[in-house]
Structures are given as structure tokens and as C-alpha cells.
Amino acid sequence: MGTTRTPDTAIGGSTSAAMRPQSAATTSTPWLGRRVSVDVVPLGPASLVLARTDAGGVLACGAVDPVPLGRFGLAVARVRPTGGGSVASFDDLLRGTVTEANDLARERGVTPGMTGDVALTHLSNACGRDAAHRPGG
């Protein structure tokens, strides 16, 4: 039988503790009468953080590029943290400042400069294009 390799034993021996994969976490939270799924994926010294609404909206950290995701019918905005460092949590997303929004997010009223909590409110509304105008719709 084959040997299962772990990140510690794959390619070249052990990895440092800082580079070992950590578990991703997804939580669901209510937001203005809707559900929001919050994903935090540790990637070494930083994390990929995004909040997905049940209306097809996404508020994300700066590592996520909104434009390509718009091609899949997702209204996406990215934020930068208000303090130093990077976005590490849902609260950081809410307190952050929108730096970019794709066309679908702008159709819902999201604009650069607004706070993440205001943007998430707009992204939670299924206004703008309907499903018939989205790819696959």
C-alpha cells in the first residue's frame, strides 16, 4: 500500500510551524434578516477572509479580485482594514473600507470609500441584475 504524505513529510522534509496548513473555518451569522457565511482560510502568516450572502454578494479581504468573480454572477467588493495589518476576521471586514467593487456590486449600490458594514447591507439585497442576466441564468 502507498504512504500518505502529510505537509510535514511532503517534498523536502518538515515545514515550519508558521507554514503548516491550518483549518479553514466557516460560520453562519444572521445579517439584517438574511444569512451570511463567513469563511476564514489561514494561509501561513495571513488569512483569506470573506463573507458570502444568500443573495449572491461577497465582501472580501484584499486578496480577492472582484472583477473575475463578476463573470460568475457574484457581486463582490473588497476592503482594506482600517488599522494596520490585514483583514483577519468578520469584524475586520465590517470595519474596513471598500477599495473596489465589481459591476454587479455597484449595481447594488456599493461604492469605494464606504464601510464594509454598509457594503454588506447592499450586497445582501438581491437588487440589480436578476438571475436571467447572469451567466448560466
Instruction: Note the pLDDT tens digit of each residue in 60-70.
Output: 999 999 999 99
pLDDT at 58 over 70: yes
CATH of the domain at 75: 3.30.1980.10
Q: Does residue 33 belong to any structural domain of this protein? A: yes
Q: In this predicted structure, what is the pLDDT of residue 44?
A: 86
pLDDT, residue 3, reads 41
10: in domain: no
- Whether residue 90 lies inside any domain: the answer is yes
Q: What is the rounded average pLDDT of the residues 85-109? A: 96
- Counting the structural domains of the chain, the total is 1
Question: Closest Cα to residue 53, out of 74, 23, 78?
Answer: 74
Cα gap 25→131, rounded to integer Å: 29
Residue 85: pLDDT band by 50, 70, 90 thresholds?
confident
- Per-residue pLDDT at 48: 95
Q: What is the pTM (predicted TM-score) of this model?
A: 0.76
- 45 contacts 18 by C-beta, under 8 angstroms: yes
Kindly state whether residue 85 falls inside one of the protein's structural domains.
yes
Q: Where are the alpha helices (DSSP H) in 25-102?
A: 66-70, 90-95
Within a domain: 137: no
The verdict on residue 60 lying in a domain is: yes
